[in-house]
Amino acid sequence: METKPYLIALDLDGTLLKDDKTISDRSLQTIKKARAAGHIVCISTGRPYRSSSLYYRQMNLDTPIVNFNGAFVHHPKDEEWGTYHTTLELDVVQQIIDTAVKHHVHNILAEVKDKVYFHQHDERLLDVFSMGDPEMTVGDLRENLGEDVTSILIHSDEKNVNKIRAYLSDVHAEVVEHRRWAAPWHVIEIIKKGINKAVGLKKIADYYSIPKERIIAFGDEDNDLEMLQYAGQGVAMGNAIDQLKAVADHETKTNEEDGIALYLEKTLSL
């Protein structure tokens, strides 16, 4: 009797990727073995597709992918599969920009699929976002944005992050979800209410008819919370935040210690 396939969902930064942003040989080999044994592997990340496609190709995947924490889900190798793009309404975006400007933040970015809009010029951020060669525009977002956006990023002083998040929770709780990036970046990421990685992963699980109990999801940050709670086996990396470890079913070693490979080898007897 053939074993039933598992769906394995991989977060990238701090999870599959080592700190130098590469996938270890052991992880690559283990993922290859898992796929050879009939299991399904997908990526579920906060990154846009353009800066995750490199890893998609490196693992030789042929599955749909969750980008922008669930705001954009598509199948890179099958246009017929459909594209699920959930955007933030422009009027809400304008209000958030006005508030961010009042708080004298360092910068505000808006992403519309593969276009990136910077409120102000910023070498460090331009560098972070240049991967995959997006179309970049610098200048007042209130003038440059002409359509609903996939996500907004607010780069602020650490002391302002909580103030801005409190405002978002008070004023826009009905329409937005917000997270903070891991140190050293004091960045608040905003997407449409009700959207998270679990929503994207469920679309993929439904497509392959994989029940929750046969989903294994790995993560390390607060944008992985819903995904780990949704998966039958939510696995927190050794380097994960405490909040994630608290909701996870299991914990593995860190992203520097082949945590994913170790867990899959044992669980799937690879």
Q: Which of 11, 13, 220, 258 is catalytic?
A: 11
Gap between the Cα atoms of 94 and 100, Å rounded: 10
Q: β-pairing, 107-112 with 135-138?
A: unpaired
Give dist(CA 163, CA 158) in Å, integer: 10
Whose CA is closest to 49, among 147, 151, 137? 151
**Which residue reads 């996870």 in tokens?**
248
Closest by Cα among 29, 37, 32, 39 to 216: 39
Look at residues 52, 154, 40 and name the one whose alpha carbon lies nearest to residue 103. Answer: 154
CA distance 253 to 270: 17
Task: Please give the Cα distance from 191 to 153 (Å, whole number).
Answer: 9
Residues facing 10 on adjacent strands: 43, 218
What is d(CA 81, CA 206) in angstroms, rounded to the nearest whole number?
Answer: 12
Q: Is 11 a catalytic residue?
A: yes
How far apart CA 34 and CA 32 sit, in angstroms, is 5
Closest CA to 117 of 152, 68, 81: 152
SS3 (DSSP) at 34:
helix
Q: Parallel, antiparallel, or unpaired for β 107-112 and 115-118? A: antiparallel
Residues recognised as catalytic: 11
